[in-house]
Structure 1
Amino acid sequence: MAPKNKTPKVGTAEEAVQCIKSGDRIFVQGMAATPSLLTSAMATHGKEARLEGCEVYHLHTEGECPYVAEDCEGIFHTKSFFLGANVRKATQEGRADYVPIFLSETPLVFRKGVIPLDVAIVQVSPPDKHGFCSLGTSVDCTRAALQTARTVIAMVNKNVPRTHGDGIIHYTNLDHIVYHDTPLYTSHSKPGAASDVAIGNLIAEHLVADGATLQLGIGNIPNAVLAQLKGHKNLGIHSEMFSDGVLPLVESGVVNNSQKSLDRGKLVSTFLVGSQALYDFVDDNPVVDMRDAAYTNDPHVIKQQQKMTAINSCIEVDLTGQVVSDSIGTRIYSGVGGQLDFLRGAALSEGGRPILALPSRTNKGRSRIVPTIAEGAGVVTTRAHVNYIVTEFGIAYLHGRSLSERATALIAVAHPEDRPHLEAEAQKRGLLGKLSRRKAPVVAATAAVPEPIAA
């Protein structure tokens, strides 16, 4: 964002948030860049000034979330585009709300004026010698919020990495500056369960080709996939986010972005969450290109990458291929995010592979492949969008398959102890028909063969 002919006000967090008035619509930057000092000051100001009817918008945020506490009810009403653990309980109790939206379209609701913003609260790097700050680890829809908000409050923090791309903003675009140095939020992956490792092995061996461009989220399954890619060649990254699992592959040259159709040589993302080592890696690194979510998650951009391989997770899948990803029954758990953006883009890519991965059972032993989705659950990915479903027991290919063929393939990759029940339920629904008289087709095959691949 180009310089403006004004000078920001410099002060404390308490002074900066005085500009927030009743009825304001406020955006808060999220993920690792969550400006907690400012949101705490905002919550205190709201109570002391007896504000009413303020709306707060954001993606997943980290740390405490004081503005969704019970004593802020009526002052702030949060509308999350993607739920983090810190707002999940308040949302499920009705004290906060959820906006189902593709990540690719989150910047558009600000730019089109669907959600006009009064205040944007962000965290940025110190200005360089030319006066430009960086949004660091979180560009996503934050850039659009800065472009459209009436007032911008920024915490300037020396620990925010200076990233290249769309997150560059001149300090004169900031209305209030608060100087405060604090470490960014970090996330450290835990050792994956045996099922996660098995899923990672299947995806890496059968579905990731040399020269592929990858989209991987955070979590045990993506890390398990990345850990198995050491023998691959010329991989690229075009993703809504990446984490520490990518670093060893960059260092070894496995990920070099040399075969990408777009942004060749660049590792493209819209936000980052990981360890301090990840933040050190992206700091002033011209290979890392942090872009607006309207670009990274645009299916029309994604489909231009040859061999685009999108790996996403989900909560449950029914026997027809309907995928639940944002809710557990009626309880909203996370969000739509970029799942369908990337699944659709990868499906349209030459040699692309849209993948959904999930352990066959929950931690409590309940099958995640189900006869019908739970009552009240939301379908994020329709049965028509699904291609590959991967569990630790194999890979089911559903695209172009009938309901009977889908049920047969999904039962084949469910937990063995759950298969008899699933088959009986499928029989009741008439999903199997004559197919029930033969065993489900499970073959040892390459991903080029559209049949279930046995683990």
Structure 2
Amino acid sequence: MHRHEPMAPVNKTPMIGSAEEAVTCIKSGDNIFGMAATPSLLTNAMAAHGKAARLEGCTVYHLHTEGDCPYVTEDCDGIFRTKSFFLGGNVRKATQEGRADYVPIFLSETPRVFRKGIVPLDVALVQVSPPDKHGFCSLGTSVDCTRAALQTARTVIAMINKHVPRTHGDGIIHYTNLDRVVYHDQPLYTSHAKEGSPADDAIGKLIAEHLVVDGATLQLGIGNIPNAVLSQLTDHKDLGIHSEMFSDGVLPLVDSGVVNNSRKTLDRGKLVSTFLVGSQALYDFVDDNPVVDMRDAAYTNDPHVIRQQDRMTAINSAIEVDFTGQVVADSIGTRIYSGVGGQVDFLRGAALSDGGVAILALPSRTHKGLSRIVPAIAPGAGVVTTRAHAHYIITEYGIAYLYGRSLSERAEALIAVAHPDDREHLREEATKRGLRRPASIARRFDLPSFPSVR
């Protein structure tokens, strides 16, 4: 029921013109969608049009976007208000200052807000590959909720760009479904992995050695910890990918045959994702590659779909974790930092999978030297993953297994993987909260640190 057919030809001819001409259909009060693979020529033209035409009350919805975000600048205040399903660095300051807004939502449900009419869209700004000989274009690296936006928006403005890779899957749209077309060739935004810290490397080694089995299907995002995990998997066999995204770290494992998707329960032989961010090498890899299946987020992130993958191994990150296992992942105190994303979708799906493993990984300390294992979450911070969802919490100092454990057992397990210099203080705080077991009881009923999955 999740599989969507290509958006077939319709009896319509798109209007071709410049970006400046295309965006003139945007009016005051419009709801506008901007895709993750940002068509910056269109967003720049939209911002300029908004100011020149003195528009008011427009709302822009989008997931994480890269590059400049011209419609959140102070001179666009009152013209456009952004509502992000997931914050990138380009809208973080505006959101924290109150000039932009945040919608907390599971990634699996972002297409639904458009399809159910909860957010009726007037205009969708997208970029697509050039049409093939049959007239079909591809959404390339960003299917996510973009397909749902195309299906429901009153007007679709598309930038046709030869640099957009033609990907297989749900992101296929016929040229005649586009209302206004701008031809402009512009390389996609690229992202390159930063060098990981010793803590990241230690976390990656722990996960790879203890929690990833041969034949596992992996979900992991972009960043130092996922890359550290991937770099440690060179001796594994028959791994698969079913993820909301993947990046360059997967490519060496595909080349060596470690990732071959041969033992996946669903979509066997396919590397499944809903969006991509990485280098040009990544975009070249996915271009016209039938092994890569780019799917709607309502499919990739549906916990019912995820749980059907045997040995589903979900690896996600966190900002802080309290003694009881509550996980903060989208905010630092009252400041929104990112979003809910697919964390809960995949942690729940993996936990219900046969042989599945639900992992949250984080360095024991922040860059400022503050403990990420805390007695209580920071005032104003939001819980993304509840204490009931948390299974494995991993720092560079070890693995804390929380599933089926009491509050006092959880506190002990988490303190054991905190930074050594923070443990005494954390023990004192646990004692104040009644979360320290008497030593005699602890010895008598002690549980293994974590169950082996290898």
Q: TM-score scaled by structure 1?
A: 0.97
The residue type equivalent to 2:317 in the other structure is S
Deviation at 1:428, TM superposition (A): 0.1
Superposed counterparts of 1:65-104, under 5 Å = 65-104=69-108
Deviation at 1:191, TM superposition (A): 1.2
1:9 equivalent in structure 2: 15
For 2:199 and 2:295, the matched residues in 1 are separated by 33
For 1:298 and 1:376, the matched residues in 2 are separated by 29
SS of 1:154's equivalent? strand
The residue type equivalent to 1:326 in the other structure is D
Which among 166, 189, 192 is matched to residue 185 of structure 1? Answer: 189
The residue type equivalent to 1:23 in the other structure is G
Which among 416, 419, 422 is matched to residue 420 of structure 2? Answer: 416
For 2:440 and 2:359, the matched residues in 1 are separated by 26
1:453 equivalent in structure 2: none
Runs of 4+ in structure 1 deviating by more than 6 angstroms, as ranges, are: 439-446
The residue type equivalent to 2:171 in the other structure is G
Which among 31, 42, 47 is matched to residue 25 of structure 1? Answer: 31
Superposed counterparts of 1:7-406, under 5 Å = 7-30=13-36, 33-406=37-410
Deviation at 1:446, TM superposition (A): 6.2
Alpha-carbon deviations, 1:14-36, whole Å to 9, x = none?
00000000000000001xx2111
For 2:126 and 2:31, the matched residues in 1 are separated by 14
Tell me if the contact between 1:409 and 1:441 (Cα under 8 Å) persists in the aligned partners: no
The residue type equivalent to 2:452 in the other structure is A
Tell me if the contact between 1:312 and 1:356 (Cα under 8 Å) persists in the aligned partners: yes
The residue type equivalent to 2:298 in the other structure is A
Deviation at 1:275, TM superposition (A): 0.3
SS of 1:137's equivalent? coil
Alpha-carbon deviations, 1:355-384, whole Å to 9, x = none?
000000001100000000000000000000
For these two proteins, the number of residue pairs brought into alignment is 447
SS of 1:425's equivalent? helix
Q: Unpaired segments of 5 or more residues in structure 2? A: 1-6
For 2:318 and 2:162, the matched residues in 1 are separated by 36
For 1:143 and 1:445, the matched residues in 2 are separated by 41
For 1:75 and 1:182, the matched residues in 2 are separated by 27
Deviation at 1:152, TM superposition (A): 0.2
Deviation at 1:92, TM superposition (A): 0.4
The residue type equivalent to 1:176 in the other structure is R
The residue type equivalent to 1:102 in the other structure is F
User: What is the aligned-residue identity percentage?
Assistant: 81
Deviation at 1:433, TM superposition (A): 3.1
For 1:286 and 1:368, the matched residues in 2 are separated by 42
Tell me if the contact between 1:408 and 1:435 (Cα under 8 Å) persists in the aligned partners: no
**CA pair 167-411 structure 1, distance change in 2 beyond 3 A:** same
For 1:436 and 1:415, the matched residues in 2 are separated by 25
Alpha-carbon deviations, 1:29-49, whole Å to 9, x = none?
01xx21111000000000000
Deviation at 1:448, TM superposition (A): 4.1
1:452 equivalent in structure 2: none
Tell me if the contact between 2:14 and 2:179 (Cα under 8 Å) persists in the aligned partners: yes
The residue type equivalent to 2:17 in the other structure is G
Q: Unpaired segments of 5 or more residues in structure 1? A: 450-455
SS of 2:95's equivalent? helix
For 1:365 and 1:443, the matched residues in 2 are separated by 29
